[in-house]
Structure 1
Amino acid sequence: MNVLLFGITREIVGSDTLYIATDEKIQTVAQLKSFLAEKYPQLNKLSSLAIAVNSKYAKPEDKITIDDEIALIPPVSGG
C-alpha cells in the first residue's frame, strides 16, 4: 500500500511516499491512522491529520485496499 505524504507529514516520515507492506493487514482508515501513529509518534502532535482515499476525504470506518490512492493531509494555514 502506497501512501502519499504532504507538508509536515513528509518531513516527519522523511519521504514524499510511504510503502506499507500488505502483511500489516490494514483494512480501514482508523487502522491506518493507528499504525502510522505507532510507527511515527510525531504525527500524534499534529492538530489534525486527514486521510484522503481516491481523492476524497475519508472517515475512520472507511475501507481501504492496496489499490486505493491514499494521502495524508496535514493541517494547513492560510495567509
Structure 2
Amino acid sequence: MARYYFDLLDEEGLVVDEEGLEFTDMEGVEREATQAMTDAARESLHRPIKPGEAAIEVRDDTGPVMRVRFTIEIERLRKQ
C-alpha cells in the first residue's frame, strides 16, 4: 500500500495534508480525491459565492499524482 496526501488549494491558500491515507490502487485515490473536492465545494457554498477555482492536489512520497478541480463561474445575463 502507498500513502497519498490530499492538499486543498483555493482562494484562501493552501491546506497541506500532513497525515495522508493509504490506498492499494489509483481508483481508491480518485474516489477519495473526488469526495474531498465535493466536500470542499459544499463548504464553500456556506460563504459568499465568488467566482474562482479550488483543487485537491494529490501527491505521494515522490510527488504529484492527480489534481481534481472545481470551478465556480458566474455569468450575469441581465443587469439589475
Query: Which TM-score band applies after superposition, normalised by the shorter structure?
Result: 0.3 to 0.5
With a CA cutoff of 8 Å and minimum separation of 6, indicate the structure with the bigger relative contact order: 1
More strand by share: 2
Task: Name which one, 1 or 2, has greater alpha-carbon Rg.
Answer: 2
Tell me the TM-score normalized by structure 2. Answer: 0.37
- For normalisation by structure 1, the TM-score amounts to 0.37
